[in-house]
Amino acid sequence: MCGIIGYLAKGERTPERVVFDRAVDALTHRGPDRRGAWVEAGVGLGFRRLSIIDLATGDQPMSNEDGNLRIVFNGEIYNFAMLRDHLKAKGHHFQTKSDTETILHLYEEEGERCVDQLRGMFAFAIYDRRKKSLFLARDRFGKKPLVYAETATGFYFASEIGALLQLADVTRVADLPAIHAYLALHYTPGTRTAWRDIRRLPAASLLKVEQGRAGEPDSYWRLDWAQKLYEGISDAEAVETFRHRFEESVALRMVSDVPLGAFLSGGVDSSVTVAAMVQSGAKVKTFCIGFEDPRFDESLHAKEVASRLGTDHYDLPVEADSLASLDLLVDRLGEPFADQSLLPTYRLSQFAHERVTVALSGDGGDELFGGYKRYQHLAHAQLLGRLGLSVPWLLGSRLLFGIEKMVNPSRRKLAWPRSALDRILRLPPREQYLGLVGCWRENDLATLWKRGVDRSLPSRWIDSAMADHPGLSGLSRWQALDMETYLVDDIMRKVDTASMATSLECRCPLLDHHVAEFAAGLPDRLKIDSAGQTKALLRKAYPDLLPPEMFDRKKKGFSMPIGDWMRNQWKEPVRASVEDGWGGGMGECFDRNAVSRLWREHQEGREDHGERLWAWHVLRKWNEQFKPEWEGSC
């Protein structure tokens, strides 16, 4: 697990060596153990290493035998030992025991299609000295980041935006449509970043660069949700097949030359992951964080699971002082990112890193096995619409809410609609989905901009992802959409940023592509059963270790009580984001009165604008730390 950076010049002008070295060292937190840099005429590759496998000889940039190819690689290839044996049989000679060298020899053998055989998480760049070209690739689910920029002087890439800004001669202009999308979605989607001149290589994509000029990203893999290969499978067969694939995935991810543990929230996904680790015979260290507010705390459930599985368990209470880590995380991200669970994920990673260097997590279970509540809301909305009952439902809901306000004084300040289903019921499908994943209602967001800006990016991004899966309907449609948008651009970005900021490697066995391909082919009943129970198959996977009744409780998610904290411990710093410092570019783009109205309504308890105010606070932090230029349509 590492940080990588590099460039390929178009002409004679190249970054000064001191500038390049400074940019390499901006990634030290991603790789505190070793450092490497290689520069020759017109090309430079840099590397910071977190040593996990082959501690003695796995340094980079690494070259092949004749020195024609050179690679920088961030990630882990879990099947590298098998690939290594295969390549040795074909006559390849290895100088190290690292997975990095395996990629190099596989590229010699297979060329660009080497990625088809890689099982793991990766972002890498290979320089070909004869062709004077770069080949870049990113893993199937976007677990490892890779950003790039092309300017008049050349092509530049890095694991993080902050390092890229130190190296590349890019303008520091904010991408206003991407900022709008960030406010709508919590994140900047797809290839866009908050910077106009910086792009993100999509998940499961390749990119070729010749003479400093980049082509278009080329997708090499996509999860097939349409075939339903396991439609007729029995429950028992499904459990057996899942356990076989998943336990193989877990075993591959438990190979490490450094201490290893797991995140354990007490939810289905992390519990199943730890159960598979225990099934292998390992003594597992597990880590959990908790909150004083019982609405958000899952630590008691985690202790129960840990006790049942016999793990060496550690838990840490998280308080409102976690806001202090926001500056560091914004610096690591290089752009605004408003998933509030970033902060607790960072604290959990920091806590785990006190005892281990690698941690397995349950990420991917919600997307693959139908765990999100929004899937049920979307299904209910579709059913009511098909039966022509949307209007009667809304009238009844509004009547009941009015009665509740009359008899319950604590509800009298609140406005209707309150439920997620009521909010989306009369919207078309795309807007229903956006209404459930977004943090800012479109009407409020439209009034936030003082001047015109292209607000179509969120819709276009969703439409593009839907177009890649024509004919899908029902649950699979929304799962496919989440896998290619929310999982990649929110969840994986959050996990990588939070863990690597503490020099911890996080591995996600549910997001092995063999496991994912099995999940995509399952019938809906093994995801959401007839009783409305989510992740039905995972709940049945380990009845000997984790009886299904252990999970008969409401899903809480991994979030914080930010709405309450903004009325108390966080009140002053967030108030300052709302009311102070309105000079300069942001003041010319955004309407101060619109933001102040949200703040007042939140403080008075009329609405819970916690997520929207959090997105605004993070945006202001990014503006303070990176000082982008706000121009264009503003």
Active site amino acids:
2
CA dist 622 and 630 (Å) reads: 13
CA 159 to chain centre: 14
154 with 43: CB under 8 angstroms?
no
Alpha helices in 335-473 (DSSP H): 342-352, 365-369, 373-386, 390-407, 420-424, 429-437, 442-448, 457-467
SS3 string, 564-590, reads: HHHCCCCHHHHHHHHHCCCCCHHHHHE
Token pair of 488, please? 């990649």
Q: Give the bridge partners for 45, in sequence order.
A: 6, 38
CA 43 to chain centre: 30
When computed from its CA atoms, the radius of gyration of the chain, rounded to whole angstroms, is 25
CA distances from 173 to 195, 196, 236 (A): 6, 6, 56
- Could you please report the per-residue DSSP string of 459-514? HHHHHHHHHTSTT--HHHHHHHHHHHTHIIIIIIHHHHHHHHTTT-EEE-GGG-HH
- Calculated CA dihedral for residues 198, 199, 201, 206, nearest 10 degrees: -90
584 with 630: CB under 8 angstroms?
yes
Contacts of 549 (CB under 8 A, 6+ apart): none
- Give, for 42, the enclosing helix (H) or strand (E): none
Find tokens 């490697």 and name the residue. Answer: 505
Q: What burial class does residue 66 get, using C-beta atoms within 10 Å of its C-beta: 0-12 exposed, 13-18 middle, 19+ buried?
A: exposed
Q: Phi and psi of 533, rounded to 5°?
A: -80, 125
Tell me how many degrees the CA angle 77-82-84 measures, rounded to the nearest 5: 80
Token pair of 287, please? 């880590």
Label the pairing between strands 213-214 and 205-210: antiparallel
CA 594 to chain centre: 30
Label the pairing between strands 312-317 and 358-360: unpaired
DSSP single-letter state for residue 111 = G
CA dist 141 and 146 (Å) reads: 12
Measured N-to-C along each axis, helices 571-579 and 592-603 cross at an angle, to the nearest 10 degrees, of 150
Q: Which amino acid is at 625?
A: Q
Q: Omega into 509 within 30° of 0, i.e. cis?
A: no
